[in-house]
Chain A
Amino acid sequence: MLTNPLAINLKVGLEIHQQLATGTKLFCQCDCNENEEYTLVLSRSLRPAQSELGIIDPAALFEFKKIQSVKYHAANRTSCLVEADEEPPHHVNRDALESALIFSLALNSDIFDEIHVMRKIVIDGSNTGGFQRTMLISMGGFIEVNGKKTGVQSICLEEDAAKLISDNNNLREYGLDRLGIPLVEIALEPISGTPQEVMQLALGLGRILRASKRVARGIGSIRQDVNISIENGRVVEIKGVQKLEQLVKVIEYEVIRQHGLMIIANILKNERGIAEIRIDNRIVDVTDILRASSSKKILESLKDQNTVYKAIKIEGFAGILGYEPYDKIRLGKELSQIVRFYGIGGIFHSDELPGYGISKEDVDNIGKKLAIRSRADAFIIIGGILANVSSAIESLIQRLEVVLEGVPAETRAATQSGETVYIRPRPGSARMYPETDVAPIKVNNLLLDPLRQKIPRPIEEYITELISNYGLNKKLAEEIFDSQYLNLFGKIVSSTKISPTFIASKLTEDITNLERQGYDSSILTQERLIEIFNELDHGKIAKESVTLLYQMLMNHEIKDLNEFESGIETMTEHQLEEEINGILCKHLDTIREKGMNSMGMLMGRTMAVLRGRSDGQKINAILKRKLEQIVASEKQ
């Protein structure tokens, strides 16, 4: 990292969204499963509505101007008229409420006596109603991780949003199956510290939740949002960090991005003496000038009669838009991200022109049209459909007007690679409206006292318990605890005679390894894993073939266990022995070196050839017998 986070007073506030392990949704009785296919479709449009305080939220207005229409896909059982916004919400899910209260108790947070369900206006289409239902359960409290206390800001219980299926400029498509699944949102006080420390904190918080056994596990079941600020900057909200490793990268990226923007602001203020951003309110049409350019991209876009190119002038900004205080951090890039939201590919700015097929002459003509008199002035061009261009320019100007502040308050999304991209302005408190369809919920000791018994114990106790009950080593105990398979592990251990260490390692290391190789582990459902270990317990699958079986399933080579086992007995005993002899011959060197320890490797190789053609256990027996013979003969 280029900048010392402590020197710029980096503050990171974690906000985690954890899916609860309830069978049904927060405000209806639909299943919390995800659909593979949908059978129903609705199309809707949303419009901003005034808040209870008579204000329209800026983020809501932003989305409204952007999106024309939303399509929702649904299937029965996972969605009903409630998700479709065709029926009022039912009672709040009792189980989910209890979970949120237990977490509040566990984190010493002050629980409110009356909980009011609110509508948080979100009109990007991710909620059919145009709002997310949420309720503030408690505020204050703390979490202790590695001996360090961090304050809790607030704990909320809320509905998950619909699942984005596609986003195509003016049309967005969502799946309704995820809409309404209960989430608990825990926001921590901002801390100063290294990205690693923040990650440890996120891990610690996640573990407390998992210890309750009341939360869902697996990819997407926990999501981190982070609020990041540096000295003199506003708070930037980053949404949708799914993995802890990504969290570190995101923080590192934001540090240089935000500091870079500060450097740019300082140059403008201190070196150029700009006290106020001056943008000519004249927005000029440069379509005709660009029609004469040799840019293929522009000429291609102009084939559409509706395309226009417009330019604005920014005084004193020459050299600023393309300036890189850090690698790949440019104001120009920030502005490009903003216009992209209006279906516009990006911006052209004077720092990179002439270029992209726009000649010096074109640039001069644009300059003339914009009445640029000083070499210190810059301009920006964007092109697209008139309505989009107008909205985008409005947003560009709004963004440019706060350049001198350095880091403006905005909402950004984390990318897979750990960068962040602009989504929308930060919403204000104006987006909160009471959910008039649900009565406030009273919380008293009658409700709370029984829940106090359910507060999860310290994590160390659970790990120690796993070690002592199952004979796992500490690393494996922690891995199984953090994995999505903890409950499943317990189930398999109690229903089979297989060694717990073997089960734990097959559920953690093996699956993680395959995931790293790019295999999709979602095909290994709970039911399927239980089936695999049952077959293993009944001797129908060899221990050595479990990983291979995973791989074949993930690779879609086989559909189910039957297919894996059905190949069995298609080879005669003799053929089988011949095949195994062949494999042993190829690996004599290894056998000489490792002796019986080469068994695992040989089993893998053998299965790779004989997969599905013979019983794993039989292969294992033959292989073992033959290997013993070879090892014995080698010794003589």
Chain B
Amino acid sequence: MGSVEYKGKASELLIENDIKIGQSINIQTNNGKYSGILLPRYELFDDNHVVMKLRNGYNIGINLTKIRSIEKGSSDSQYGAYIVGKASHNVNQTIGRPNSDQAKVEGTLPKVALISTGGTIGSKIDYRTGGVTSVLSASDLYLSVPEISRYASVDTEVLLNEYSENLRPEHWTLMANKIIEKTSMGIYRGIILSHGTDTMHYSSAALSFALRNIPIPVILTGAQRSSDRPSSDAALNLIGATKFAIESEYSGVFVIMHADASDNLLACHLGTRVRKNHTSSRDAFESIDIKPVALINGENIKMQHNPTLELQRREDANYSSYKTSFDRHVILLKYYPGFEPAIISYLVQSGYKAIIFEGTGLGHVSNECIAQLKQAINSGVMIFMTSQCIWGRVNLNVYDTGRDLLGIGVVPLSDMTPETALVKTMWLLANNQHSGDIKRMMQENMCNEISSISPIQLDKK
């Protein structure tokens, strides 16, 4: 969290009267007298107002010009401390009932590790921006979703506290290493990673490659409604993730989120085949070109038939050495009408080693680009082709443009999603020397990111 102090004139007034955030105050204005607690001021707002929480619970802002006097209130509120983050967490204040048998049961329940990286699943108000930020720790979360304790004994750890849009490939490495560390302890049946939703599918793809052959399931989950609201989807997603972590016969990297707008059904997606397809709805995550690997309805986990997938059973996972580095010199580029071909040379000059195109339709860019692309390839930059259609497979043999692209050495990536293609390239670049190997491996299926058959899908669930 950034600064939550007052600035400018407001700050002067408060210092003059020796008043700090969280203290109870009385303000006399031209029109009335108001008592309450001084709240922090959102950093992005002006310095002409003082914000307070009145006794009735409402927050209001009072313009400095209307304040005749401001003074400390008689009683210092216990709540004030909480606002400035000094209150100790009150463990009794959880919604679960204290369970005296818990300790006894814990020993017999399977163990799961819950690693928190931030995001809406653990967020509450941020006085810096006025929006929500991630501050709840994984252990807070465990306390507020006591149902989890029915299925598993959960060890929690806060690894990061970031919105997912702030995550970088280094963070994927950090996550992967942490998961490897936990896995190698040999005591966990599965690992849950709570994650901001915006880039969760990039992380799930990254972890799929970095944790190839991991012997336990790793489940990413998050929330589309922040966990500070009663309607948050966080609880159900977490409960489902816990159940799957324990009961799944398969290992690998998965994403579990709501399957529809109701709080009943969850979908478990494969880490390399999932995408966030809605800005705000609970069921924003969808499996692309395949069905979700499982649907979770209450106590019932139903594996779905996907003829082309090769899921790995826990016992079959043969651990080798994990490769957890990523090379950032890859760009994901969307082609559009009016696209300026000179951008390609610019990217080559900027040191990019690979370009993932989101081409139109079957994987096309305009013929104006051919010359620039040819130059790029000649100078050693790899050009991969995916489609901005999201669903479906690229095919460069159908039209002339496609054949031209193939001719100059553009590599089509079948039905891989553009995001997964980006991440896979970053991973291969970091762990391989020769571009020939990389090009070959990009077209090979490593983590179910490519399938040879496009199933007829009448119902996307």
Contact = CB atoms under 8 A, between A and B. Distances in A.
Interface residues of A, number: 58
Contacts of A129: 225, 229-231
A61 B97 CA distance: 11
B178 interface: no
B60 interface: yes
Interface string B84-95: 000101100111
B229 A54 contact: no
A434 B232 contact: no
Contacts of A439: 130
B280 A119 contact: no
Nearest to A122: B230
A19 interface: no
A121 B95 CA distance: 15
Interface string A95-122: 0000000000000001011111011110
A47 interface: yes
B132 to A, nearest CB: 5
Given A47-B95, A433-B125, A110 B32 contact: yes
A123 B144 CA distance: 16
B230 A54 contact: no
Contact of B262 (A42, A154, A430): A42
A49 B94 CA distance: 9
B230 A436 contact: no
A45 interface: yes
A294 B70 CA distance: 70
Contact of B95 (A61, A86, A118): A61
Interface string B206-229: 000000000000000000111111
Interface residues on B, range: 35 or more
A181 B49 CA distance: 30
A447 interface: no
A3 interface: no
A49 B60 contact: no
A456 interface: no
Most buried by A among B55, B130, B281: B130
A513 interface: no
Contacts of A116: 51, 58-61
A116 B236 CA distance: 30
A461 to B, nearest CB: 27
A467 to B, nearest CB: 37
B262 A54 contact: no
B132 A440 contact: no
B262 A48 contact: no
Contacts of A156: 58
A429 B78 CA distance: 14
Given A49-B232, A110-B29, A131-B229, A434 B55 contact: no
A424 B287 CA distance: 44
Interface string A591-616: 00000000000000000000000000
B57, B79, B93, B144: most-surrounded residue (chain A CB, <10 A): B57
B55 A113 contact: no
A507 interface: no
A104 to B, nearest CB: 11
A260 B144 CA distance: 41
A85 interface: yes
A417 B288 CA distance: 58
A442 B55 CA distance: 21
Nearest to B77: A53
Contacts of A154: 56
A55 B54 CA distance: 16
Contacts of B235: 47
Interface string A406-435: 000000000000000000000011111110
Contacts of A355: none
Contact of B227 (A49, A54, A112): A49
B280 A87 contact: yes
A99 B54 CA distance: 23
A81 interface: yes
**Residue of B31, B58, B262 with highest tally of chain A CB at under 10 A:** B58
Contacts of B51: 114, 116
B60 A50 contact: no
A247 interface: no
B98 interface: no
Nearest to B65: A113
A136 B60 contact: yes
A44 interface: yes
A142 to B, nearest CB: 13
A139 interface: yes
Contact of B125 (A52, A85, A86, A113): A52
A136 B54 contact: yes
A433 B66 CA distance: 26
Interface in B117-136: 124-126, 130-132
B55 A429 contact: yes
Nearest to B44: A439
A437 B49 CA distance: 20
Closest 9 CB pairs of A and B: A130-B230, A114-B61, A432-B57, A429-B57, A136-B58, A113-B63, A110-B31, A53-B79, A116-B59
10 contacts: A49-B229, A50-B93, A53-B83, A84-B261, A85-B231, A113-B66, A135-B58, A136-B60, A429-B55, A434-B59
Given A81-B280, A110-B29, A113-B62, 10 more contacts: A50-B93, A53-B82, A55-B79, A81-B281, A85-B225, A118-B57, A130-B230, A134-B58, A140-B32, A436-B131
